Amino acid sequence: MAGRIIDLHTHSRASDGSDSPAALVRRAAAKGLAAIALTDHDTLAGLDEAEEEAAATGIEFIRGIELAVQDEFGELHILGLFMPEPSERMLAAIDTLQRNRRSRNQAMLDVLAAMGMPMSMDEVREHSGKVAIGRPHIALAMKSKGYVPSRKEAFERYIGWNGSAFVPRTLLSPSEAIRLLRDEGATVVLAHPCLSKRMTPGRLDAVLTEFRQYGLRAIEAYHSSHDPEQVRLCIALADKHDLLLTGGSDYHGSNKDGIALGAGTGQLRVPYILLEKLREYRRSRGLPL
Ligand code: AMP
Ligand code: MN
Ligand code: MN
Ligand code: MN
């Protein structure tokens, strides 16, 4: 069918989105999207609920995950799409990521307390889906305690990259994360390649050469943060490196302002044909759909 659109990058309350997995799927169906992937940070916990809701609603559902990796020049994000039932190795890796998150969160709360902004972990958890807890939940807790007027200010002053209470968390390396997902049988995607201001066309070219060797298969050309020129760059580099294309809004519900499911900041339209091409590739490799 012509004109069908999809969204292959979204977050639920299993990580730092505000919709429950089922509500997210219902919202996608109500918007008339043909397919949606749930790609929560560091967890697969929302997938079963979303998949069940999708089966009941008739929308196509793709099981996904988003992992952050530490690259030479900063943090990059990797999506795994078509995630199968997790192996023991995958479960252990997720466990380690969650443990690293918890100790980083506690370290950040310790710094904030020393700065006169005490909060308990339970107070932060109250703002989350109680699975993968992170900085957006700390920002919500800071706002509700009256420490900051807005979540934006929480990030700008305290918990963003340059904030005075920022504590980094231990991330996987690109080769660890990409190989982990590739070995699971997922389709591995470089998420929002142009989101970081540090990413230049030359650097992206080099990153793709390197990551492809580890098992990268696709690049998220269409994303809420990409302008038309960045989309064209991604498409040209996908062609050069023989990579597939994906796209998604990176919807977080009310936890990220101005990003609509399926539509991003308004202009995003990810065509269904991209999903067909991903499936065609997987079929040709005998990978489960
Ligand atoms: P964490 O994974 O706990 O370090 O938190 C990172 C999450 O915080 C990202 O996935 C974004 O959703 C959100 N985030 C990061 N930087 C900002 C920012 N400057 N303003 C608002 N949200 C942000
Ligand atoms: Mn997020
Ligand atoms: Mn990301
Ligand atoms: Mn994301």
101 CA closest ligand 1 atom index: 3
Residue 69 in any domain: the answer is yes
Is there a contact between 242 and 234 (Cβ–Cβ < 8 Å)? no
Residues 178 and 46 grouped into a single domain: yes
Residues 222 and 270 grouped into a single domain: yes
Q: Calculate the alpha carbon distances from 8 to 82, 269, 270, 271 in Å.
A: 11, 11, 9, 11
Residue 39 in any domain: the answer is yes
Residue 191 in any domain: the answer is yes
Residues 204 and 277 grouped into a single domain: yes
CATH value at residue 264: 3.20.20.140
Q: Distance (Å, rounded) from C-alpha 221 to C-alpha 249?
A: 11
Domain that holds residue 121: 101-159
105 CA closest ligand 1 atom index: 3
Closest residue (by CA) to atom 18 of ligand 1? 155
Residues 132 and 205 grouped into a single domain: no
Residues 209 and 253 grouped into a single domain: yes
DSSP 87: P
Hey, which residues does 37 pair with through a beta bridge?
A: 62
Residues 211 and 250 grouped into a single domain: yes
Is there a contact between 56 and 158 (Cβ–Cβ < 8 Å)? no
Domains of the chain: total: 2
Looking at 134, 159, 184, the residue that finishes a domain is 159
Residue 169 in any domain: the answer is no
Q: pLDDT truncated to tens, each residue of the chain (289 aa)? A: 448 999 999 999 999 999 999 999 999 999 999 999 999 999 999 999 999 999 999 999 999 999 999 998 899 999 999 999 999 999 999 999 999 999 999 999 999 999 999 999 999 999 999 899 999 999 999 999 999 999 999 999 999 999 999 999 999 999 999 999 999 999 999 999 999 989 999 999 999 999 999 999 999 999 999 999 999 999 999 999 999 999 999 999 999 999 999 999 999 999 999 999 999 999 999 999 9
Residues 277 and 218 grouped into a single domain: yes
Residues 150 and 212 grouped into a single domain: no
CA of 116 to the centre of ligand 4 (A): 31
CATH value at residue 123: 1.10.150.650
Tell me, using a 6 A CB cutoff, whether residue 251 lines ligand 1: no
